[in-house]
Amino acid sequence: MRTVIAGAAVLCLLAAQPASAAWTTSSQGPAGAKAATVTAPTGIVCTKSSGAVTWPAVAGVPTYDVWWSDKENGGGNFYGFFRVSSPSYTVTGGTPLRVKVRSVAGNWTSVQSPEQICS
Amino acid sequence: MISFKELVRRRYVRRGAIVFAVATAALGSGVAYAAWTSSGTGNATATAATAQAPVVTGGAVTTGFLYPGAAGNAAVTVKNPNAYPVKVTTVALTPGSALECTLGFITSTPMTPIAAGATVTVEMTGAVTMGNADNSCQGKTFSIPVTVTIASA
């Protein structure tokens, strides 16, 4: 009887063995990666009545800084910056007449966009 | 009249038969019973295939660009020169490699299948990190030395 049980156990162990091992090889070569280019946004649209400021996203750029002014004369008097993580911003607490935006990626920043006059 | 000793003996025999039947079933129903055959002698020859190493060339990423403090994507193009399908098991930075612009590379296990003789581009999301790199690194394309391992699928 013990012989039968031992035989069954051996057969079970044999059946549990893996069928085969995978063939593995390796070699070296280059992997590609690319750094973002932080350029200033273009095509900025600003609306006085709603305070909405929008612009097309810059590829690879995660955040933007926005400045706005409620003065019509050029230069100075900007509030900001206000950092946003999408290519839009809504001015609150005033009416935007001029805006400018820059792109930000980590510690990389673009130059500020030219002032955009709101319509 | 069956004696008590005979009853015990029969019980053991029955248990042994059950255990043997279970063990046979566990071996797998796919195993056919061997037929009784006659045989002769002779030499058969067979040569095992040799596993060929993958051919690795650079891939171009189109998303997941790098910038300071973030992880970006890496891509590698791998050709399977073998006559059997494989999968890409690991992509690791080649030991001793120096990377520019404070880059780092995280070992990937993409498990991407490649058919026999086929070529695929494997894109690894977030595999490359960038530290506090300076502005001169903006827009650069990097060629990162990696070791690609494939295994038969």
pLDDT 10s digits, A26-82: 999 999 999 999 999 999 999 999 999 999 999 889 999 999 999 987 666 899 999
Tokens read off for A43: 């095509």
Average per-residue pLDDT in chain B?
Answer: 83
3-state secondary structure chain B: CCCHHHHHHHHHHHHHHHHHHHHHHHCCCCCCCCCCCCCCCCCCCCCCCCCCCCEEEECCCCCCCECCCCEEEEEEEEECCCCCCEEEEEEEECCCCCCCCCEEECCECCCEEECCCCEEEEEEEEEEEECCCCHHHCCCEEEEEEEEEEEEC
Which residue in chain B is spatially nearest to A29 when comparing CA positions? Answer: B56
* pLDDT score recorded for residue B84: 95
* pLDDT score recorded for residue A30: 96
Q: Which chain B residues are Cβ-neighbours of A15 within 8 angstroms?
A: 26-28
In the structure, what pLDDT confidence band is assigned to residue B47 with cuts at 50, 70 and 90?
confident
The tens digit of pLDDT for each residue in B84-101 reads 999 999 999 999 999 999
Task: Answer whether B67 sits within 8 Å of A35, measured CB to CB.
Answer: yes
The predicted model scores a pTM of 0.68
B110 to chain A, closest Cα gap in Å:
14
Residue B127, pLDDT > 60, answer yes
* pLDDT score recorded for residue B35: 42
CB distance A52 to A87 below 8 Å: no
Q: What is the ipTM, given to two decimal places?
A: 0.70
B37 to chain A, closest Cα gap in Å:
24
Residue B137 to residues A34, A60, B144, Cα–Cα distance (Å): 10, 14, 15
Query: CA–CA separation, B121 vs B114, rounded Å?
Result: 10
Mean pLDDT of B56-65: 88
Q: Which chain B residues are Cβ-neighbours of A4 within 8 angstroms?
A: 16, 19-20
Q: Which chain B residues are Cβ-neighbours of A36 within 8 angstroms?
A: 65-67, 138-139
* pLDDT score recorded for residue B37: 46
